[in-house]
Structure 1
Amino acid sequence: MEFEKTKKVLEKFIESESWHKICEILVSRLNSSFFWVIDTQGNFIYRLQEDRKFCQMIKNNLSGSRGCQDSFQFLRQQVIEKKKSLVNNCHAGFLKFASPLMVDNEIIGILGGCQLIDLNLDFELYQATALELSLNIEDFLFFISKESSISSSNLEAEIELVSLATKNTLESITRRETKERQEKKEVDKVRDFYDLFEACRELVLNLETKKLYPTIVEMARKAMNTQICSLMLVDQENKEVTIKAACGLSEKVIKETCLSSEEGLVGYVIKSSQPLLVKDVETDPRFKRRHQSERYHTKSLIISPLKIEDKVMGVLCMNNKEDHTPFNEDDLNLLSIICGHAAIAIENSKAYEKIKKDKAEINIQAKELSILHDIGEELILRHTPREILDLSLTQILKNLSCDLASYFIWEGGEVRAKVCSLYSLEEESLQQLKEHFKKSMPNLSFFQSLREEFSLEVISKSSKRPKDRDILAYLAYSLSDNGSFIGILALASFHKRIFLENEKNLFSLISKQISVNIKRALVYEETKILTERDDLTNVYNYRYFKKNYPEEFKKVFFHYQPLSLIMLDFDHLKMYNDRYGHQQGSFLIKKIASLIERELKDKGWVSRFGGDEFSIILPNTPKDDAFKVASKIRESINNTTVNLNGDLHKLTASLGVATFSGRETQIRDEKDLLELADKALYQAKDQGRNKVCQYHE
């Protein structure tokens, strides 16, 4: 990684919340007052420098100061060579540590510290250091005795945890930067196309098809930055494909090109109704050269269908990028978006030509576009499928000539159905509507099993009853997600009538709008889940905890209700990782998470706090009940035996419980409660692990 990039990553690292927590660990748990982050050249990125008095005495001595510098450089060199965390003694006998900061197995910096008193080192050795450096022995030893000490083994264990935290943080930073760069590049491409499309919107909406084709081609070529772009339409009767407009091809080539709609790459796209990417045409036997001219020498191409619903009307072909690099999947995705707009534009243009002779029909078309625009603006503000569908019923009743609008949707294996009516509906009318729903379903096996009654939510705009209870006119369109049936949108009337073509067209477009927005809502929900769930265990992640835990505390704080917090630490994860590998360690963490969820049920929620630690929130749960929940979780874990490479192990975990009763003054905010739960957790670990400890004031 380039030096400037590593420097930026390190700067983001020390600005991260994880780094602040690492600093807390170094200060509170290691009692370290001298630690730093340097780049590979030894430049300080971060430094906390509060010398202990005994180290001040050493540094005030010329020989001692040189020893400190040599010790620092030696430790730095060792870490760079070995690429692992190190703990050892400095020239004066004090403990020092260093941990490599790595990205993609490359060291970009070092986290280190020193001035820690070695619990296992005899005071006589410190006395010898004082003698060697001609220091005041009495003062030197006095200052040492005033500070806490730590064993090298405990320090190694703590630094391993710190190393894991730094590794995860750096990986998150670099992943995020890479993803953001890629996403920005693709978003810029899509945005440029939309800007271009918006600039030409009025022109596109009012062009005849013959003038529309070259406009689409030129817009697509600019957006994709290609040498050749051609729009080809299918003649269904003759099963031929001809070029209607192109950039980069001569008029002769455009006129003479006539392909079979069932052969070659174009035929494949038309038959499959799927876009196609060919990075190197020489490797694809379906490609046939029709022009040997160097000018038209194709090396890489992408083709995407122009389709409305499942009907392919033609294709948009791109040959060769201007920069001569092969097309990739991102290019194919962008072309698919362009084709979606182009197909709608072409379809709208054909419809416009069909009705423009009649002024009344033009007004109808304008009204339809206005309705679609208004509905589209309303739909974009809805974020769940249910909200989108409920809005659609209101808009259909408002804009189409019908007496009722309804939807039937298959969601999570269950049926949801709703009807919004201008009249008060009787059971007979509802039964007729249900039968219409069943007849509108695709002939798929899992829908054929739907013969039992399903509930239908009814919203009536008035108490007035229709003159006739029978549904005499019915129109329905399927709602789909990438071709998969997800439901039905329907309208009906109690008056005998035939729906006009423009009404069917408008209702069809509304249905498509609804489908697109439902897909958007589903993607939004999936993305929301991904951002809130831990990748490994599928329980909530720390981000979710950080956002929702304070909200949980606020709820109970102002209503004087109890809230319990359990902090759980899976015992001996490092031992399992070292002995059986991190894959088995990950398996055990997933196992612990599933056991917690099994015991927790609906009493609260669990999140992975980090590494081998979990947090469990129990709203409206007093301390005795919280202790029982924690005990059941501990017992469930302790009763679990796992087989790791033939070795049987009983799992254990340590749990700390703290409760805000609703009235005590010691707990002022959620941070206090978390701190008390942490203290209880460490009590459990200090007592030998596999314990539940509850914080007592």
Structure 2
Amino acid sequence: MFDVPHDGTDCANDVSLLVTRATTCAAAALAMLVLPLYQLIEIFEHQTPSDLLWLHAAWRAPVFLVALASLLVCMLQPGSGAPKLLLRLIAASVMIMMFGLFTTNMLHAQGNPEPMARGIIMATFAVSLLSLRGGWEVLLHFALPLAGSLAWLAFRGADLLETTTQLVDPVMMLVIAMIASELFYRIRGQQFALQRQLRQLASTDALTGLHNRRDLERRIAAEMSRSRRHAQPLSVVIGDLDHFKRVNDEYGHGVGDDVLRAVGVRMRRNLRSEDLAVRWGGEEFLLLLPDTDRDGAVDVAEKIRRTISEHPIGCNGQEVPVTISFGVAELTDSDQVADLIRRADDAMYRAKAQGRDRVCA
């Protein structure tokens, strides 16, 4: 009857989570590459004293371990929500490391705090790119380590005027980073909202608000595979409004559209969240019912049939009587998508032949 994608890909995957996972992997990989490189540069080119080298290594090691753990989690558990926490952990650990290196060099007799201050600037810019919640998150990552460093330097009797002079440029960078991060956050939010709207428009019937045929084609093959994998039933129900042309001829197409919308509302009210109600075409509807055998699907169809036939639809001050005929089919081991739908369609036509306003299976 139609071609269905066989990969069962769910287009409604959370794009934000995918972006966060990719960002976490990139940040972790970059940290694992850069941190040992800086340590080696200090050893072979800057001739940093050995005791200061060990202090630097002690500040860098936790960040390296956090990055390694983050990379492993992203690779081994790609579908989890852990990347968001790990990305924040990477950002926080990087800022703590840089302020720790700065403080260590301020207190050490042979320390050089200037490159560490430049490192804070670079880290602040990097954290602004990693921020998930905009400027306030960048401020939090910056302010807490800064407060800790100033408190420790004051406790150790360091020259706070010199310290403040060294930190003027990093603080200026913080302001810029907060603005940039807030802009990125708002732009990403608008993009994700637009993507959600586009996915919804692509999968929804504009008139009834039900799912459309394209969305069914995407979902039904996946539900059939899941049903067989877990040995659970799956049923399809096809319904067609009886003598709908008379409604359009007698009341007008505007009322006909109102009737279709009202039928869609009544269907949704009588279905579970995991069920799928589809406008199959014209005045025809399809219900995809996971974990439902034939008898259960007949009960669902009969309930909806009564809801429609026993309660005329009010449109423009008029009561429009409407009935619907349903056909039900349950998935068998040999069914392809077209087979399952064809059997439900045949059952629906039997319901029409037997007098309409009934359910056949």
TM-score relative to the length of structure 1: 0.31
* 1:494 aligned residue (141, 145, 149): 145
2:344 equivalent in structure 1: 677
* 1:551 aligned residue (211, 222, 235): 222
Identify if the C-alpha distance between structure 1 residues 394 and 570 changes in structure 2 by more than 3 Å, giving closer, same or farther. same
For residues 71-119 of structure 1, the C-alpha deviation after alignment (integer angstroms, 9 at most, x for no partner) is: xxxxxxxxxxxxxxxxxxxxxxxxxxxxxxxxxxxxxxxxxxxxxxxxx
1:394 to partner: Cα distance: 7.8
1:180 equivalent in structure 2: none
1:691 to partner: Cα distance: 0.3
1:500 to partner: Cα distance: 2.6
> What is the letter of the counterpart of residue 687 of structure 1?
Q
Bigger relative contact order, structure 1 or 2 (CA pairs below 8 A, ≥6 apart): 2
Residues of 2 paired with 1:651 and 1:502: CA distance?
Answer: 68
1:628 to partner: Cα distance: 1.1
Structure of higher CA gyration radius: 1
1:590 equivalent in structure 2: 261
Identify if the C-alpha distance between structure 1 residues 676 and 488 changes in structure 2 by more than 3 Å, giving closer, same or farther. farther
CA RMSD after TM alignment: 4.1
2:299 equivalent in structure 1: 628
> What is the letter of the counterpart of residue 347 of structure 2?
A
Residues of 2 paired with 1:588 and 1:486: CA distance?
Answer: 46
1:523 to partner: Cα distance: 1.2
SS of aligned partner of 1:615: strand
1:384 equivalent in structure 2: 15
1:646 to partner: Cα distance: 4.9
Residues of 1 paired with 2:221 and 2:251: CA distance?
Answer: 38
1:622 to partner: Cα distance: 1.2
CA contact (8 A) 2:259 2:315 kept: no
CA contact (8 A) 1:580 1:644 kept: no
Identity fraction in percent: 26
SS of aligned partner of 1:494: helix
For residues 345-391 of structure 1, the C-alpha deviation after alignment (integer angstroms, 9 at most, x for no partner) is: xxxxxxxxxxxxxxxxxxxxxxxxxxxxxxxxxxxxx9623444566
CA contact (8 A) 1:640 1:650 kept: yes
1:502 to partner: Cα distance: 2.8
Question: Following superposition of structure 1 onto structure 2, how do residues 394-413 of structure 1 map, counting pairs within 5 Å?
Answer: none
CA contact (8 A) 1:655 1:692 kept: yes
CA contact (8 A) 1:388 1:517 kept: no
SS of aligned partner of 2:270: helix
Residues of 2 paired with 1:544 and 1:613: CA distance?
Answer: 16
Question: Following superposition of structure 1 onto structure 2, how do residues 554-573 of structure 1 map, counting pairs within 5 Å?
Answer: 554-573=225-244
CA contact (8 A) 1:567 1:677 kept: yes
Q: Does 1:523 align with 2:194?
A: yes
1:495 to partner: Cα distance: 3.6
For residues 399-422 of structure 1, the C-alpha deviation after alignment (integer angstroms, 9 at most, x for no partner) is: 8xxxxxxxxxxxxxxxxxxxxx96
CA contact (8 A) 2:313 2:319 kept: yes
CA contact (8 A) 1:389 1:514 kept: no
For residues 324-343 of structure 1, the C-alpha deviation after alignment (integer angstroms, 9 at most, x for no partner) is: xxxxxxxxxxxxxxxxxxxx
1:393 to partner: Cα distance: 7.3
1:678 to partner: Cα distance: 0.5
> What is the letter of the counterpart of residue 194 of structure 2?
V
Residues of 2 paired with 1:659 and 1:642: CA distance?
Answer: 30
CA contact (8 A) 2:203 2:211 kept: yes
1:643 equivalent in structure 2: 314
SS of aligned partner of 1:566: strand
1:509 to partner: Cα distance: 2.5
Question: Following superposition of structure 1 onto structure 2, how do residues 275-290 of structure 1 map, counting pairs within 5 Å?
Answer: none
1:425 equivalent in structure 2: none
Q: Of Structure 1 and Structure 2, which has the larger fraction of its residues in helix?
A: 2
Q: Which deviates the most, 650-659 or 514-523?
A: 514-523
SS of aligned partner of 1:594: helix
Residues of 2 paired with 1:597 and 1:659: CA distance?
Answer: 20
Residues of 2 paired with 1:681 and 1:549: CA distance?
Answer: 19
Unaligned runs of 5+ residues in structure 1 are 1-16, 21-381, 400-420, 423-456, 468-474, 478-484
CA contact (8 A) 1:383 1:524 kept: no
Identify if the C-alpha distance between structure 1 residues 501 and 651 changes in structure 2 by more than 3 Å, giving closer, same or farther. same
For residues 593-616 of structure 1, the C-alpha deviation after alignment (integer angstroms, 9 at most, x for no partner) is: 110000003241111100000110
Residues of 2 paired with 1:383 and 1:562: CA distance?
Answer: 28
Identify if the C-alpha distance between structure 1 residues 518 and 385 changes in structure 2 by more than 3 Å, giving closer, same or farther. farther
